[in-house]
Structure 1
Amino acid sequence: MVADKRHVSQHPDPWVGERRLGHIVNRSGGLFLFVETLSQYLMKYPNPKPPLDRLLEGPSEEASIELYKLYLAAIESRVDSEEAESRLIARAVIGVAPHRALCDEAIAAFTGLKLATVSSWVDDLSSLLYRDPTLHGGIRARHISILEYFTGSSCPLDFRVDLKQANTELGTYCLRTMITKLRFNICKLETSYRANSEIEDLSERVQKHIPNILQYSCLYWSNHLCSSVDQASKEVCEYLDTFLRGERVLYWLEVLSVMSRVPAAIGALRNIIACSRIFEEKIINLADDALRFVLAFLNPISTSAPHIYISALPFAPSESSIWKTVCKSFSNVMKVSEGRMTMWPKVAAVWKGHTDHINSIACSPDGLNVVSGSDDMTIRIWDVATGKSVGEPLKGHTSSIQSVAYSPNGRSIISGSADHTIRIWDAATGEPIGEPLKGHTNAILCLAYSPDGRNIVSGCVDTTIRIWNVATGMPTGEPLVGHRQYIRSVAYSPDGLHIVSGSDTIQIWDAATGKLTGEPLTGHHDLVTSVAYSPDGLNIVSGSRDCDIRIWDAVAGV
């Protein structure tokens, strides 16, 4: 391929030759990635023979080491390690990579460098990076191992990207961008009478009026700021205070509204509140007030950007920070003459919203939310701090919800229903993920995630247990059969190797094979309704209709 590109003569003296080709094969270790990167690297040279010979010098090492040596050669040949601008660009490109690839123009705007400087840097590293046309030219690594190399110990310090420094810089860039570029009615909407979904050209308006770096900043500013445990700098705290204290926080919600990303505001503000050790108390208080505003008025904010000012702001408590800091800027909003709150209410002792029996609840791993499943066929997500229901109920099941659970990373929720199906939901948006999981022939009474989040185990009235692959939504293997009555409770061991189930007896299963391990655990005199593993996995605890709780040795089964 390189020979074709460079028109290097292959006859009668092939420029690669069998000797070089043999060395390339040995050093690649069978990795196509090595060969592809090598080809991209050599294309930069009018005569690729000398750089290839330099790479092939010395004895061959492990494939991963050879790959990293190739990455280093590509970097050293094109990047000046002493040039501060190169390091600045690298930190920006690598720092945004986990979230959204940004184009040359956005990186230049963030860093304050000339566009030509950024473009030249990307061009010089074209063997490792490329511009993705599907992401508006966003700069992406050709393979995830390139990102790992740039940030890992194998990369020399001269070129290594300090992620801590990168996140600090990017967090500052984001705040600065929002402070300078956010404005009222940013998409120039002509009326408040139409919901966002009814504006035919809204996506075009977003692309026209909200620059790429502003979109990125509005979505990911807190991810960067909260990535460190170190005390935030005075500059960052001043930027945060400016952003959260005043109308800019409303303009930020406006951007998220037209982008259909309002739940991102909840996550961002919670990130700040959770980092109380690194931010000043006044910042935490402002973030908490903004979070209460978003949660209280999530529906109008999500439905229509103009209604942030029409259906939300006028009803904010008169002594809330958000109202006190913006009321002068919005003096013409509707006045509430009676019944307006003075302060945000304290957490309610009773959370109301469901219209029928609640069968299952679960806390999110970070403790900030609770999910509930009810006979009213809906699932609700609740904010622990306020006791308010977050967003609309999750609807999709056609019968009562019997069991709910959060994934270990808190990003997904699973629900099991009397309609014989399991559903997976996005915990942030409340949207269903994929199609319902089907296979059981009766009501599903219990669910649990595996510790790694890759599998789900379910227990059913049909007396079977099933293990499901989360990625495919398909059952793994045949149903686990061994109980004579319906399965009331299931749980994974902390190491994910075993599953315990409660029914007429207690059974322990091999999670990989679905086979029983040992004899049933007997001792209860009635149906076993709940089982759980101890955190160290050495014991199992069970509860039964016989009014007893029993503790069992998980290994010996006694």
Structure 2
Amino acid sequence: QSDQLCFNVSNTVTSYWPNRNIQEHKIDDHMCYASLHWLDHVCAASRDEIVRLLTVLETFFVGPKFLFWLEALSAIGFSRNVGAILKEIEMILSHPWSPQYDKLESFIRSAIQFVDDCAPVLHASPPHIYLSALAFCPPSSAVYLHCASYFPNLARPLRHSTYLSHSSQPSQLPLTATFSSDGSYVVVGFDNGEVRAWDMASDRLILKDPSPVSAMAFSADGCYLVWGCENGSLHLRNVSTGSFVHGPLNLQGLAPSAVSAVAMVRFSPDGGRFMACTRKDVLSIWCSTT
């Protein structure tokens, strides 16, 4: 079945449809079985045969065939099996009787990280294994090194952030993001209250606030950043100097039941004022300088 394992093995016609909107992918039964159970046959083989199969696997698996295999499993709804299969291969390679397969071992380690980072993509859409998962794979990853050259027209990010690649834990989910007007900064707010700004060359921490950030906006000149939090507070910061201008600002005179998360913040065109609107439709306007 290895010759049939190719790009678009799932015969998907568009990247806009997730798996849940596709009634059935056109993958034959033999390919389905081989994609799911090839490791079972490796494990059932004799030790000498396993060594031979690992040599074949290093030649076959290290490269784009790995992505084609992921595509097949995504299409038939078994992408969640990938991690366990890869870890089983890693365990076989660690046996004392196993010869050194440096390239395969390095690739499997990167592949495990790749599927962990991109699990939602693998589950949702075969085309986005290439368009999203591979595109955002760190260039230092063995998966990227051995696969990316086969897809020369793939869109690539301008730069990779090592911070974002480690921010997918439940305690650090991105809630809101915005660019400065000139595109020199991008800011992301996380549900643990952390705000990070990237100057498109290197990232730096702006703030760690005790309340999750719910809305952000830059002034027209890109010098100031205002953000609102789930607890209804507002913060204004000078992006260039990193210093606080105001904050935390709170709506005074409201009953506790009227205080709610900030849903939107905006600057006036001249940057002299900013407004905030809460989820309970309370609107406030503030002076940026006093």
1:552: which partner in 2?
none
Cα pair 2:10 2:126 within 8 Å, conserved: no
**Alignment of 1:298 onto 2:119:** yes
C-alpha separation between the residues in 2 aligned to 1:225 and 1:330? Answer: 30
**Alignment of 1:211 onto 2:28:** yes
Query: Which shows bigger deviation, 275-284 or 315-324?
Result: 275-284
**Alignment of 1:353 onto 2:174:** no
Opposite residue 185 of structure 1, the aligned amino acid is N
Q: Deviations over 1:38-85 (max 9, x none)?
A: xxxxxxxxxxxxxxxxxxxxxxxxxxxxxxxxxxxxxxxxxxxxxxxx
Q: Shift of residue 324 of structure 1? A: 1.0
C-alpha separation between the residues in 1 aligned to 2:50 and 2:17? Answer: 43
**Alignment of 1:257 onto 2:55:** no
Count of aligned residue pairs for this structure pair: 168
1:287: which partner in 2?
108
**Alignment of 1:191 onto 2:14:** yes
Flag the 1:187–1:317 CA change in 2: closer, same or farther, 3 A. same
Flag the 1:325–1:259 CA change in 2: closer, same or farther, 3 A. same
Flag the 1:233–1:301 CA change in 2: closer, same or farther, 3 A. closer
Q: Shift of residue 312 of structure 1? A: 0.5
Flag the 1:340–1:244 CA change in 2: closer, same or farther, 3 A. farther
2:141: which partner in 1?
320
| Secondary structure of the structure 1 residue equivalent to 2:135 | helix
What are the equivalent positions in structure 2 for 1:30-429 lying under 5 Å apart? 177=1, 179-199=2-22, 201-202=23-24, 205-206=25-26, 210-227=27-44, 230=47, 233=50, 235-275=52-92, 276-277=94-95, 278=98, 280-282=100-102, 283-341=104-162, 352-354=169-171
Q: Shift of residue 243 of structure 1? A: 2.7
C-alpha separation between the residues in 1 aligned to 2:14 and 2:50? Answer: 41
Q: Shift of residue 337 of structure 1? A: 0.7
Opposite residue 329 of structure 1, the aligned amino acid is Y
Q: Shift of residue 242 of structure 1? A: 2.3
Cα pair 1:289 1:320 within 8 Å, conserved: yes
Structure 2, gaps ≥5 residues long: 173-290
Question: RCO greater where, 1 or 2, for CA within 8 Å and sep 6 or more?
Answer: 2
Flag the 1:185–1:242 CA change in 2: closer, same or farther, 3 A. same
Flag the 1:194–1:279 CA change in 2: closer, same or farther, 3 A. farther
Q: Deviations over 1:125-153 (max 9, x none)?
A: xxxxxxxxxxxxxxxxxxxxxxxxxxxxx
Q: Deviations over 1:2-61 (max 9, x none)?
A: xxxxxxxxxxxxxxxxxxxxxxxxxxxxxxxxxxxxxxxxxxxxxxxxxxxxxxxxxxxx
C-alpha separation between the residues in 1 aligned to 2:132 and 2:15? Answer: 10
Q: Shift of residue 187 of structure 1? A: 2.8
Flag the 1:237–1:265 CA change in 2: closer, same or farther, 3 A. same
Structure 1, gaps ≥5 residues long: 1-176, 356-558
C-alpha separation between the residues in 1 aligned to 2:111 and 2:161? Answer: 18
How high is the TM-score relative to the length of structure 1? Answer: 0.28
Flag the 1:314–1:351 CA change in 2: closer, same or farther, 3 A. closer
C-alpha separation between the residues in 1 aligned to 2:168 and 2:125? Answer: 27
Flag the 1:354–1:215 CA change in 2: closer, same or farther, 3 A. same
Cα pair 1:226 1:271 within 8 Å, conserved: no
Cα pair 1:231 1:279 within 8 Å, conserved: no
2:221: which partner in 1?
none
Q: Shift of residue 229 of structure 1? A: 7.7
Flag the 1:303–1:352 CA change in 2: closer, same or farther, 3 A. closer
| Secondary structure of the structure 2 residue equivalent to 1:327 | helix
Flag the 1:198–1:341 CA change in 2: closer, same or farther, 3 A. same
Q: Shift of residue 224 of structure 1? A: 2.4
How high is the TM-score relative to the length of structure 2? Answer: 0.52
Considering only aligned residues, what root-mean-square deviation do their CA atoms show, in Å? Answer: 2.8
Q: Deviations over 1:235-292 (max 9, x none)?
A: 3123211232110000000000011100111111011111121363322222221111
Flag the 1:212–1:287 CA change in 2: closer, same or farther, 3 A. same
C-alpha separation between the residues in 1 aligned to 2:124 and 2:99? Answer: 32
